[in-house]
Amino acid sequence: MQMPDPTRPLKIGTRGSKLALAQAHETRDRLSAAHGLPAEAFEIVVIKTTGDRITDRPLKEIGGKGLFTREIEDALISGGIDIAVHSMKDMPTIQPDGLVIDCLLPREDVRDAFVSPTAQAIADLPAGAIVGTSSLRRRAQLAHRRPDLHLVEFRGNVQTRLKKLDDGVATATFLAMAGLSRLGMLHLARGPIDPAEMLPAVAQGAIGVERRVEDELAAALLAAIHHDPTGHRIAAERAFLARLDGSCQTPIAGLAEIREETLLLRGEILRPDGSAAISGYREGSLHDGPAMGSDLAQELLGRAGAGFFDHL
């Protein structure tokens, strides 16, 4: 196989948060191990996105898709970087012309973690307890199960949110187990939440690597670290999301799993205020993910009827 030019390192674009950097390092280490390349063959390039710049407003107010990805994709298109590492959970379902994500790393824990200095689990929270989250999905899921809780907006990276808990702004919050694990902070989780109780976000725990479609060197390098089972699961979940036209404004959850060569997909949509939730299920062969995802989305949309998402 063609090897990277030793005088020109492969530029890996990423956001600058600790979690994003940990993911970029994992990608570099996997590439380095798969191809026997030294650390000098790679350069990590930190790119600031709109979502990173605006930290004082709820994400849904800033609006638009790709708040955490647009600037990185621009750098990829213009050749400033060669590959880009993303949390697939934050990725729009359609990539810009000329870019493709066909490399998924082995998926981490998909579950949400319950984080609180005082309570052991959701059931322990007293009526009226304040819970912080910036995720519309987690907010709607929690409001659905525990309408007595008081939900507040909790923006910022993992460190910022933990600081807010310390400062007593809220009694509890939720974070992805995957993020805590990659940050070496799993001890902060009181415990994982069973997906049957709180279905995770589409693609939670999955890292994807984006490249230019015509970049054959990047394609060959990345093919060696692609994890096929994760690819099938993410394809199903993202097809579900795509058919729902999921934006950051819509509470949607989805999880595909593989059991004995069968792909199992669960999906859920909720009213933003948690006053209703509709869920469904499909199963099929490993390559059926895209069809299963859009078919399940179609069913849920039909059951929901017009205006389902409008309630606030």
Ligand X SMILES: NCc1[nH]cc(CCC(=O)O)c1CC(=O)O
Please list the active-site residues.
90
Residue 173 Cα to chain centre, angstroms: 17
| Interaction of residue 133 with ligand X, rule CB under 6 A | no
Residues 186-215 that bind ligand X (CB under 6 A): 204-205
| Interaction of residue 90 with ligand X, rule CB under 6 A | yes
219 token code pair: 């394609």
Interatomic CA distance for residues 76 and 74, integer angstroms: 5
Query: Of the listed pieces 31-39, 72-80, 173-181, 293-301, which binds ligand X according to CB under 6 A?
Result: 173-181
Query: Of the listed pieces 83-91, 145-153, 217-225, 287-295, which binds ligand X according to CB under 6 A?
Result: 83-91
Query: Of the listed pieces 86-94, 188-196, 241-249, 251-259, which binds ligand X according to CB under 6 A?
Result: 86-94
Comparing CA positions, the residue from 54, 89, 97, 107 lying closest to residue 73 is: 97
| Interaction of residue 66 with ligand X, rule CB under 6 A | no
Contact 198, 143 (CB under 8 A): no
Q: Which residues pair with 216 in a beta bridge?
A: none
| Interaction of residue 178 with ligand X, rule CB under 6 A | yes
| Interaction of residue 253 with ligand X, rule CB under 6 A | no
Which of 89, 137, 243, 271 binds ligand X (CB under 6 A)? It is 89
Q: How far is the CB of 52 from ligand X (least distance, A)?
A: 11
| Interaction of residue 49 with ligand X, rule CB under 6 A | no
Query: Which one, 37 or 270, has the nearer CB to ligand X?
Result: 270
Comparing CA positions, the residue from 4, 11, 10, 14 lying closest to residue 207 is: 14
Interatomic CA distance for residues 60 and 238, integer angstroms: 20
User: For residue 14, what are the CA distances in angstroms to 2, 18, 21, 80, 81?
Assistant: 25, 10, 7, 12, 9
Contact 144, 278 (CB under 8 A): no
Query: Of the listed pieces 172-180, 215-223, 250-258, 298-306, which binds ligand X according to CB under 6 A?
Result: 172-180
User: For residue 5, what are the CA distances in angstroms to 28, 81, 162, 217, 218?
Assistant: 16, 15, 42, 10, 12
| Interaction of residue 51 with ligand X, rule CB under 6 A | no
Query: Which one, 9 or 66, has the nearer CB to ligand X?
Result: 66
Interatomic CA distance for residues 151 and 133, integer angstroms: 7
Amino acid present at 188: L
Q: How far is the CB of 175 from ligand X (least distance, A)?
A: 4
The residue count for binding ligand X (CB under 6 A) is 9
Q: How far is the CB of 26 from ligand X (least distance, A)?
A: 11
Which of 179, 208, 272, 274 binds ligand X (CB under 6 A)? It is 179
Comparing CA positions, the residue from 131, 117, 114, 138 lying closest to residue 190 is: 114
| Interaction of residue 140 with ligand X, rule CB under 6 A | no
Residue 41 Cα to chain centre, angstroms: 28
Q: How far is the CB of 249 from ligand X (least distance, A)?
A: 14
Q: Which residues contact 18 (CB under 8 A, 6 or more apart)?
A: 157, 158, 159, 183
Q: How far is the CB of 157 from ligand X (least distance, A)?
A: 8
- Write out the residues near ligand X by the rule CB under 6 A: 87, 89-90, 175-176, 178-179, 204-205
